[in-house]
Chains A and B, each alone.
Chain A
């Protein structure tokens, strides 16, 4: 399995501001994903972070709101832009390691006031 870290672990932000979340993996991985988990819900895939090219976004998510960078095979960032209280969620990154299994980072718990 892969060891994944995320920063920050939690944050409280004011509406209209932006937050960048970092995801670091201890080994090179091809597939890396960003998820959102709204309160009381299961996970929703935001995008696939592609190394060296633009991220692939799922329906309902756009690059202007959730810009993603993937400069190498061990690191990615997700920015939540122009935040509103509806963006209050847990944001998780994941990687595919063994036998199509996704391993998740510890998550970033975001509260927007």
Chain B
């Protein structure tokens, strides 16, 4: 079965510290895409970062990086130097190779940055 698992329902982190949000996935497709989205309390779903299954290097976008460990089927999001504005829900999602763009979503992690 194709599935995304986020085991951290909530996290508290001190401002300026680095944060790692866990995501593991399950698929038998050799080709897939992995995504992280941020959802602030306003409700908007903001795309953060993408990793393709055949990408040789871990994806990075500014303060966001994706720690992609293919053999372990994990795609953890790392946020460096956290800021108060990083407080939000974070969702990991996957597109399996044959999905016709239907995303499979994790349950999300609520991140709260403490001043």
Q: A residues engaging B (CB < 8 A)? A: 1, 31, 33, 37, 42-43, 45, 48, 90, 92, 94, 96, 99-107, 109
Contacts and interface: CB of A to CB of B under 8 A. Distances in A.
29 contacts: A1-B47, A33-B101, A37-B43, A42-B91, A42-B106, A42-B107, A42-B108, A43-B91, A43-B103, A43-B105, A45-B102, A45-B103, A92-B43, A94-B45, A99-B33, A99-B52, A100-B95, A100-B101, A101-B33, A101-B35, A101-B47, A101-B50, A102-B47, A102-B101, A104-B44, A104-B45, A104-B46, A106-B42, A106-B43
Nearest to A108: B43
Contacts, number: 52
A68 B43 CA distance: 22
Contacts of B47: 1, 101-104
Contacts of A99: 33, 50, 52
A92 B101 contact: no
Nearest to A109: B43
Interface of B: 33, 35, 37, 42-47, 50, 52, 91, 95, 100-103, 105-108
Contacts of B106: 42
B9 to A, nearest CB: 10
